[in-house]
Structures are given as structure tokens and as C-alpha cells.
Amino acid sequence: SLPVQGEGDAKEEQLKKYYIDETNTEETTLFGQKVDNTQSLKAGRRGPTLMEDFAFREKMMHFDHERIPERVVHARGVGAHGYFETYQDWSDLTAAQFLRTPNKKTPVFVRFSTVLGSRGSPDTVRDVRGFATRFYTEEGNFDLVGNVIAPFFVHDAIKFPDIIHAGKPHPDREVPQAGTAHDTAYDFFAEFPETIHTVLWALSGRGIPTNFRQCEGFGVHTYRLVTEANKSVFVKFIWKPKQGLCNLVWDEAQKIAGKDIDYHRKDLYTAIERGDYPEWEFGVQIVQEKDEMAFEFDLLDPTKLIPESIVPFTPLGKMTLNRNVTNYFAETEQVTFCVGHIVRGIGFTDDSLLQGRIFSYFDTQINRMKGSVNYMTLPINQPVVPVHNNYRDGAMQMGIPKGEVAYYPNALQGNAPRIAEKTYLDYPEKIDNVTKIKAQVPSVDDHYSQAQLFYNSLEEAEKQQLVDGARFEIGKCRMEIRERMVKILNQVDNGLARRVAAGLGVSPPDRVAENPGKTSKGLSIAAYPKPDNI
């Protein structure tokens, strides 16, 4: 049986059961026969190799099938284990047990990633980065699949394949293999100005972090917390690094990419090995139900953040990463984070990006796990609590369900499965009298207010960094796209557009009338520490 949470790391104990001791072993086949597989069986010294050589065939067959598809996005990543501790009992906010028992350690697994590059791409390219956390709670896995940038490019999941196709390498040349410096990305951004807020974050130092230990993390969407009494508040989840926030400058990022493509993964690994465990404060911005419509942007619009000057950050607890993985493939590659892995006391909102994600992760993982619907039984994916259901069969079924029934309700086997007293709390949100419509929340149309807010929040040196980033990245595009991007930047800030235009050979644009939907006056995004190196 697993250690009680708080008395040890339940996940580590579970994983240990699967460790395979490879020291001083004798070579065997997968079916246990001891063999010499250093030589193949031949007809005479000079061959040919015989079909009969089962050991050769098995070894080669296994090697031939070692690869699984890389993730369609976030292919390159690094993972680490750790634990989360809540600062206090947050029962007034949520029914989630892991946020209600102080001094209890909930095991976590975190995978940081770049989005666009393939599995072998360099770490320090300009990109958004993923910050995915799995909490192995006593109520099942809660996966908070976040990014290090607060807003997202598009508001509707149906646009996700487009933005990724635009950002991935050109289909004809397969270049560039990582980063966003190319025609199709900026063609899309210029066509779809709701992206500009996130594009500015990516062009700033946020797109080239110094390491993962000094990144913030954002759940991006508005979620719900739900109490036992079915009271709900809206929340944005945020991770704040105790190590501070730190970004590279472009020159450093490029040189490092040339010298050491593993820079970020080595940094995390070596920090943990030397006992310098990175920590993040986990918290929320809380919005009461009654204030759902109190903002000039819609809470369901993921292209917007909630400025911390309106809704402050409430720290809930702290996460520490203190253990490297034992095997990269078995843990970091086979972990299957999913937005749909959620626990009692946490709920979704109608954010259409979020709704689409709930489907996409399961679906892609069935492909990534080569058609097996049983991938959640892999060691890294198992929750630390028992799993019971009437799901049966499928490729790679690892368990042996006992009993004669596989349906519910049944009278033959009273435990198959009983519905627990406390199940997931589906918040009874009202959606009566709605009309089906292909549309979006109106605040998505205000593309520029928060982009301005972000730009204005930067120090002069950071503005220069953003300008340099934009010149470099957009400078890789054909002239027609440069001109369209300058027009978009001009909607954000004339000074910004002129400075970028000067580096692109584009004529400086005239000032445009103030963005009519402007909502950002006097607001600030967050009280984040400024990068140390600026």
C-alpha cells in the first residue's frame, strides 16, 4: 500500500515498483530466454543470417519500433518531480482536498516545453513555453496545462490548428525548424490581430527566458473554484517563481542556441542535482460570480489577462521541484497531461479555447500512444488513488479485471462500481434560452488595449528588447508582410511601430486615432520583478 500523503511521496513509491534494475544482469529476450545477442546466427562464418534467429529478430523488431510520434505541439520538453503544499485550508474557496490540508505534500510532476520546435530543437529559440503541472492528489490527477505567457493568441479552439500550422516550419521547405521568424507566422498574425497581445509578450524577453526556474506560469483561461456548498468564484491560476523572473537578451539566446541546444534542460536537471530546488508560489486571481461582467473585457476571452492592479494575486501554496526523472522516455515523454484531468472543487468556464482543449488532449494522446486507450495505466500517468470503472479491453490492457460483469447498474456484483458519495462537482451554471451561434465574446474584438497595456508596462530597455526582437523576427519576412505587421503595431503604439519600421525598411506610419475600445488606462499587468539582466 502507498504511504499516506504527507508522510512520504506516494508517487515516488508507486513509480519505484516499476523500476527495472539493469545492473549486472544477464541478457535475455523479452520472454526470458538467456541469449547471446552480440552475434546473429548465420549459415557459416560469412552468412547469410538465418530467419531462425529469434533473438536477432526480436532485438531488431524492438529497436525498429522504439519511437512514438512526438507531440504535435510542445514536442521538446524537460520534466521533474516535486511536491505541492497549501499554505492554509482554502475550504471557503474550493472543495479540492489538496488545497484544504496544510502540511500535506501532494506529489507533482512538471513538464516545461517549447511549443513549435521538434523534439531535437534548441532550447533558447524565441517561442512561448509550456508549464504543465500534474498534481497527484488524493482525489485523482489534476493537470494544470499552462504556459509561461499570460494571454493566448486566439480565443477559439477552432483556430488552434491554423495558428500552429502558421507557426510550424513552412510546409514546402520545412524551415525554420524552431521559433517564429518566418512569413507564415507573421502573415497569420497580421491577418488576425487578436494575436497581437500575445505576439508582443513573445517578442519581449518573455519569449526567451534564461531558464525554466525563473519563469512565471499561467493557466491562461478563467477557471472556477467550487466549494462543498456549491458556491463558485472565477479564478485565473498563476505560478510565481521564488527565484525571480529572468530573461535572456537576444544575442545571448542566439549564441547559446548555437553552443548548447540543451541549455534549459541541463539547467533544471543540474539545479535539482545540486539540491538547489526551484520553488513557485501557486495562486489565483479571484473574481466573484457577481462581478462576472464587471470588466471591460470578457473573462471568457483568453486573449486578455486580468491586470493585477484590478484583481491582486492571492497565494494559495507553494510547489518545490526536488527530483529528476529516472528515465526520460518513461516519464517525460510518456506523460499525458490533459485539460480534462480535473478534480472535485475545480471547474471549467465556457471559454471556447478551454472547451476545445478538453477534447484535443485525449484525442492526440491516443495517436501518440499508438492507438492504445490504456495509456493512463502507464506508471507516470497513474493516479496515486485506486481506479475502478467498467472500461474494458483495448490495446495493451495491463490489468486483469476480475468478476463476471462489466456494466452498471448490476445486481450480480454489488461493487462494479458504486457511485461514491462525493463525486466531481459539476457546477450548475444556467444556460437556458440560448441560441446556437458561430460567434465570439465581443471583447475579443478589442485587440489592442491589452497589447498597449503590456507595451506600456515595459521599462525602456525592455521596450528596446521588444523592438529588436520584432525587427529580427519580422525582418525575416517578405516586405509585404513587414508592412502589414507595422500597421498592426501602429494600432498598439505609434512609437513602437516607427521604431520597428526603421529597422525593416518600411516607411514610418502616421499616428492612428486612439483605439476606441481602449480599456487599459491606469492599469498595470502585474507586480512582477523586472528581469535581473536589464
Interacting residues with ligand HEM (CB under 6 A): 71-74, 77, 111, 113, 130, 132, 145-147, 152, 157, 160, 220, 335-337, 353, 356-357, 360-361, 364-365, 368
The 10 Å Cβ neighbour count of residue 339 is 24
Q: By C-beta, is 87 or 528 nearer to ligand HEM?
A: 528
Residue 269 marked as a ligand binder:
no
Shortest gap between Cβ of 237 and ligand HEM (angstroms)?
9
For the four alpha carbons of 256, 259, 265 and 269, in that order, the dihedral sign comes to negative
Give me the sign of the Cα torsion angle 171, 174, 177, 183: negative
Given a contact cutoff of 8 angstroms between Cβ atoms, the answer to whether 485 and 474 are in contact is: yes
Given the complex with ligand HEM, which of 179 and 482 has the nearer CB atom? 179
| Cell matching residue 414 | 454489488
CB 512 within 8 A of CB 490: yes
Active site residues: 74, 147
CB neighbourhood size of 165 (10 A) = 14
Task: Report phi then psi at 368, rounded to 5.
Answer: -60, -35
C-alpha cell of residue 10: 506516494
95 or 339, CB closer to ligand HEM?
Answer: 339
> Are the beta carbons of 509 and 490 closer than 8 angstroms?
yes
Nearer to ligand HEM, 148 or 287 (CB): 148
Q: Report the residue number whose CB is nearest to ligand HEM.
A: 130
Indicate the SS3 state at residue 132.
Answer: strand
How many residues are present in the chain? 534
User: Measured from the CB of residue 465, what is the shortest distance to ligand HEM in angstroms?
Assistant: 23
Going by C-alpha positions, the residue among 153, 155, 149, 171 that lies closest to residue 163 is: 153
Output the smallest distance, CB 23 to ligand HEM, in A. 31
Question: Least CB distance from residue 92 to ligand HEM, whole Å?
Answer: 26
Given its phi and psi angles, is residue 399 left (phi above 0), alpha (psi -120 to 50 degrees) or beta?
beta
When the beta carbons of 160 and 472 are compared against ligand HEM, the nearer one is 160
Taking the complex as a whole, how short is the minimal distance between the CB of residue 130 and ligand HEM, in angstroms? 3
Query: Per the annotation, where are the binding residues?
Result: 361
Query: Per the annotation, where are the binding residues for heme?
Result: 361
